[in-house]
Structure 1
Amino acid sequence: MRLLSLLAGALLLLYPATPRAQTVWDMPTEYPENAMPGLGLTTFTKHVAELSGGKLQIKPSFDATAGIKSAGMLTAIADGRVQAGDAFAGSLESEDAIFALPSLPFLVTSTTDAKHLADIARPYLAAALQKKGLRLLYLTPWPPSGIWSKTPLKTASDLSGLSIRTYDKTSTEVFAGAGAKAASISFADTMPKLVDGSINAVLSSGDGGAGRKLWEFLPYFSEITYSLPLSVASVNQAVYDGLSGDLREAVDAASRQTERELWLALSTRLQENYQRMRQNGVTIDSSPAPAIAEALQSGAAAVQRAWCVKSGPACVPILDAFRASKP
């Protein structure tokens, strides 16, 4: 028996144990790795690896290299083309009106406001995802959206000279109402439009602008604080349910930790973006002509009312809770 034990031990040394089975999730975003959604994916990937002991691996991809943009992300996850993904919430309005809430114009004006609204909206966003067979992982906050343009914006009439990339149906309506030629274009498709000259302005944050180097075409940025929108990271519910209990706990903990770190990152992101923009020759107008904001805000109230109609009974409790949360 002793001889058999020694032989068995020798065989184990020659033929190591089979590696632990590993589950892999593909998780794309249409945004660059250095934009906030990209930071979310890399942060989530790191925490999942740590908390699962390497049993679950996230394979992030950026810049829509997986061929999936925000508007098609929920369908891609539900259909099993990928296990998880990140999408800009405003691009999902056709799936459910609740996704347009975070990018309603001039509703939030600070990071504090944005955090309050995100906390209030979370159960509604999660419920909308659940109807599609998806589970909310975490929310990614964006810095304030402003206007990138070829020339400075001095008066409200300058808006009529813009052929501007907007990021959802609501922002398209607001800018069109102010006289601009506006079109909702995915972030992944924005640069080709700038190159061919079909647009001459972009609604985005300094974060998105840095990710795409918008300054190569648009050297002016008007700080209008149009909104502080959100992106939504989700996973196929059946895929999540198929995990062992300890891996589900790891995913949940990684999601919470990722979102906490993203909000902390947002607190310094604006100044970091502005420093990088100025280093690349961008002129930042932090006090644009009041008439410009007024021209846009005149349409903001109308689209907020329209959103309330589309969102049905969710509107009043959400907006009441948000207003009550403001100091």
Structure 2
Amino acid sequence: MRRRSLIALAATLPMAAPAQTMPPLATPRQGAGQWIAATEYPAGAMPAEGLARLAEAALPLPITPRFDAPDGVRSAQMPRAVAEGRFAIGDAFAGALGEAAPVFLLSSLPFLATSAAEARKLLAAARPAYAAALETLGVALLHCTPWPPTGLWSRNPVTSPEDLRGLRVRTYDSTGTETLKALGAAAERMSFQAVAAGLANGSLDAVLSSGDGGAGRRLWEHLPHFCEIGYAMPVSLAFADPARLAALDEAQRAALEAAVVRTEAGLWTLLETRNAANQARMRQNGVTIEAPSPALLSALKAAGATAVAAWEAKAGTAGGEILAAYRAA
């Protein structure tokens, strides 16, 4: 995997000024010896697994992973928290950053990449754009974390287009919201950390998400049905505070750069068996896994195509070039 040195990259990054429209984050800047790596996802989910593997592989650099949105920082806030030095490393679901740049929505575009092979090709085409978009937010890309296929968790079975009408469903990005609203669902984008409250108080009927690890364990307590719609295979992005990278000594730099490559390679290997393991665990916990009817899949793909076209128009030439490279690979 060819990439610029993390230290060389850090030297090129602007120190981003805090956005004036956002309130200050509560967490103070870490001391130089603290390397906290934060994600909003629970232990066992793929992004948390990525941070845990990075910490293990990067020794002697002391990285401490923290899960479940430490200090309330969720994916959309994570780049700012890292740029401000609140955490040394952060992980964010790419789609949650879509308001910052259209490219962050790419991996979760409906039915664009629905297999591991396709997801890897899409990532290869998009990686430079991810890195550049993160640079504008004042952080440096480390590794990318693949997610298993996105499906639809629900209180009641969802196997036909009619089952979507009026369904109060959580989505993870704007294109998912648009796709499901087009089919009559009451779709709302929200972070994963916000889902628990909506399920507990009954304001949500369904959640667009994978069946992955710790994330799945939060869902099957309320949503005993999972429809395998194969919506997308999105990615999360891990990134670092460039000031921390620039301060590393030679041994620490070498350890981190090797750990980044090892971590991402290991996550793709893990993905090969992850979906089967997730499904076995889901069934053990009473989840019924269903296939969508041809009518439901057709309706979702038609609505998804409209969302993809809208993304292409918004992303312009740069987005078109990424899609062309992906489709030609």
TM-score by length of 2: 0.88
Deviation at 1:25, TM superposition (A): 1.0
Look at both structures and tell me which one has the larger radius of gyration over its CA atoms: 1
| Pairing of 1:1-327 with structure 2 (within 5 A) | 23-49=33-59, 54=60, 56-207=61-212, 210-285=215-290, 287-325=291-329
Deviation at 1:324, TM superposition (A): 1.4
Deviation at 1:229, TM superposition (A): 0.3
Point out the structure with the larger helix share. Answer: 1
Deviation at 1:209, TM superposition (A): 6.8
Amino acid at match of 1:319: L
Amino acid at match of 1:42: A
Amino acid at match of 1:146: G
Report the equivalent of 1:13: none
* CA–CA separation in structure 2 for the residues paired with 1:251 and 1:307: 35
TM-score by length of 1: 0.88
How much is the aligned-residue C-alpha RMSD, in angstroms? 1.5
Secondary structure in 1 matching 2:128: helix
Q: Which structure 1 residue ranges, 4+ long, deviate > 6 Å from structure 2?
A: none
Runs of at least 5 residues in structure 2 that lack an aligned partner in the other structure: 1-31
Conserved in 1, the CA contact under 8 Å of 2:147 and 2:210? yes
* CA–CA separation in structure 2 for the residues paired with 1:35 and 1:154: 26
Conserved in 1, the CA contact under 8 Å of 2:44 and 2:214? no
Conserved in 1, the CA contact under 8 Å of 2:42 and 2:215? no
Deviation at 1:249, TM superposition (A): 2.0
Amino acid at match of 2:263: T
Secondary structure in 2 matching 1:182: strand
Runs of at least 5 residues in structure 1 that lack an aligned partner in the other structure: 1-21
Deviation at 1:258, TM superposition (A): 0.2
* CA–CA separation in structure 2 for the residues paired with 1:44 and 1:154: 39
Conserved in 1, the CA contact under 8 Å of 2:151 and 2:231? yes
Secondary structure in 1 matching 2:34: strand
Give the 3 Å change call, closer, same or farther, for CA 87–48 of structure 1 in structure 2: same
Moved more, 76-85 or 189-198: 76-85
Report the equivalent of 2:28: none
Conserved in 2, the CA contact under 8 Å of 1:164 and 1:180? yes
* CA–CA separation in structure 2 for the residues paired with 1:78 and 1:203: 29
Give the 3 Å change call, closer, same or farther, for CA 214–159 of structure 1 in structure 2: same
* CA–CA separation in structure 1 for the residues paired with 2:286 and 2:95: 30
Amino acid at match of 1:177: A
* CA–CA separation in structure 1 for the residues paired with 2:157 and 2:205: 12
* CA–CA separation in structure 2 for the residues paired with 1:165 and 1:183: 5
Conserved in 2, the CA contact under 8 Å of 1:191 and 1:212? no
Deviation at 1:59, TM superposition (A): 1.5
Identity of aligned residues (%): 48
* CA–CA separation in structure 2 for the residues paired with 1:123 and 1:241: 21
